Amino acid sequence: MAEDWRADIILVNESADETTPGDVSVFRSLGEACRWLEPWWVENHEGFAFTATGARLTLGMDSNNSVIVVRQEHVPHGPKIVLGWLCACATAVLDARRSKAERGKAVLSRSEEQGQLPLTTEGLIAYVGFQS
């Protein structure tokens, strides 16, 4: 059986509390997430990182002052946290798309018009997209 591809997807949440969704970013790989994060963000404990499977990542710095993962741990409530972050992110995306649609800059899907968002981690990742 192939390894779960969601383990490669990294979510970063800028929030003071792990369970509270803040500014959530989704990355295709750990390397992209670490490259995007600033050292001060890690040093000041500005947020949290999880894999899309719900494993908590502890971030740190290497000798070159680059962001690295120091530890990865599976937590029982990790998948629920990730789903909550993604739901909040998807709601923000939908709100932004509705605003653009009102100005004629976007055309909503039928599901978006009805306020229906995906319910799974995979669907939510597809809806919100990745950080470039």
Condensed to tens digits (0 to 9), the pLDDT of residues 5-18 reads: 999 999 999 999 99
Domain assignment present for 73:
yes
Domain assignment present for 129:
no
Model-level pTM?
A: 0.92
The DSSP code for 5 is G
Give yes or no for a contact between 57 and 71, defined as CB atoms under 8 angstroms apart.
yes
Q: Is the pLDDT of residue 1 over 60?
A: no
Domain assignment present for 132:
no
Structure token digits, residue 54:
């719900």
Cα distances (Å, whole numbers) of residue 125 to 66, 97, 119: 26, 16, 10
Domain assignment present for 131:
no
Domain assignment present for 76:
yes
Q: Which domain holds residue 21?
A: 5-123
Domain assignment present for 57:
yes
Q: Reduced to 3 DSSP states, what percent helix, strand and coil does the chain have, rounded to the nearest 5? A: 40, 20, 40
Domain assignment present for 128:
no
CA distance 26 to 100: 22
pLDDT in tens, 35-92: 999 999 999 999 999 999 999 999 999 999 999 999 999 999 999 999 999 999 999 9
Number of domains in the chain: 1
